[in-house]
Chains A and B, each alone.
Chain A
Amino acid sequence: MSETVILAAVWFAQIALALAMCLCAWRMIAGPRAQDRILALDALYLCAMLQLLAFGIRTGRTIYFEAALIIGMLGFVATVALAKFLMRGEVIE
C-alpha cells in the first residue's frame, strides 16, 4: 500500500519535472537575450537535480543523491561563470 502511494507521487513528480524541463528548454531556445538563456539554463540544472532525487526515491538507492549533489554544484559554477562572462567579457581576469 505505502509503496503504491510513494510510486504514484514519484510518477507525478517526474512528469511535472519533465514538463518543467521542457518549459525551461523553450525559454532557453526562445531567448530573447543572453541573460534569459542563462536563467533558463540555471532553472534547467535545478530541474535535472530534482529529477535525479525523484529517481533515487523510486529505485530506493542513495547513489543518485551524489549525482544530484554534483549537478547542483556544476550548475552553480556554470551560472556564476556565465554571468561573469556577460558582465566583463571574460571569466577569469
Chain B
Amino acid sequence: MSVHLADVPLWAAILAAAFLVLGAGLTLLGTVGLVRLPTFYQRIHAPTLGTSWGAGGMVMASMIIFTAASGRLVLHEILIGIFVTVTTPVTLMMLGRSALYRDRSEKNPDVPLSVKSDETNDDPAQGAS
C-alpha cells in the first residue's frame, strides 16, 4: 500500500509533525543521557525515554498520517508501540540483574553486597518494623 503525503489535511499534518518532533527529540535526549550519565545504574534509565514517548510519538505520527492519507483507519503501527512497551522492562531488568551480579561477584565497593531485607527476612523483630 502506498499513499501520497499531499492528500493529508493540514491539521493532521501539523499534529503528526508535532508528534514526530516530540518522538525524535525525546529519543535524542535519552541517548544524550546514555552518553553523559556517570554510572551504569543511572545510564540504564536514560534510553527508556526513547522506548516510552520516543517510540510512542513516532508511532502516533505514522498512524495519523496513514489514516488521514488513505481515508480509512490504519492502526497496525500500534503493534510496534505495544511490543516496545512490553519488552523494554523485561530486557532492562535482565540487564540490570546481570550487571548487579557481575558487580557483586567482583566485590565492587560501589554496590552493596546484599540488600538488607534479603538477610533479615526471617527475623521477626525486623519484619515487624
Contacts and interface: CB of A to CB of B under 8 A. Distances in A.
A38 B95 contact: yes
A13 B47 contact: no
Interface residues of A, number: 54
A43 B30 contact: yes
Interface string B5-19: 110111011101110
Given A26-B35, A72-B83, A46 B54 contact: yes
B34 A27 contact: yes
A87 B101 CA distance: 7
Interface residues of B, number: 60
B28 A16 contact: yes
A16 to B, nearest CB: 4
Q: In this complex, which of A40, A80, A87 has the most chain B Cβ atoms within 10 angstroms of its Cβ?
A: A87
6 contacts: A20-B27, A35-B99, A40-B34, A42-B47, A79-B91, A83-B94
A59 to B, nearest CB: 8
A39 B80 contact: no
Nearest to A33: B40
B50 A20 contact: yes
A13 B10 contact: no
Given A23-B31, A26-B35, A35-B102, A2 B47 contact: no
Most-contacted residue by chain B among A3, A8, A60 (CB, 10 A): A60
B5 A60 contact: yes
Interface in A56-88: 56-57, 59-62, 65, 68-69, 72-73, 76, 79-80, 83-84, 86-87
A-B pairs, top 6 by smallest CB distance, nearest first, are: A9-B17, A2-B13, A13-B24, A87-B98, A43-B47, A16-B24
A53 B77 contact: yes
Nearest to B7: A2
Contact of B31 (A2, A43, A54, A57): A43
B87 to A, nearest CB: 4
Nearest to B9: A2
Given A8-B17, A13-B20, A57 B65 contact: yes
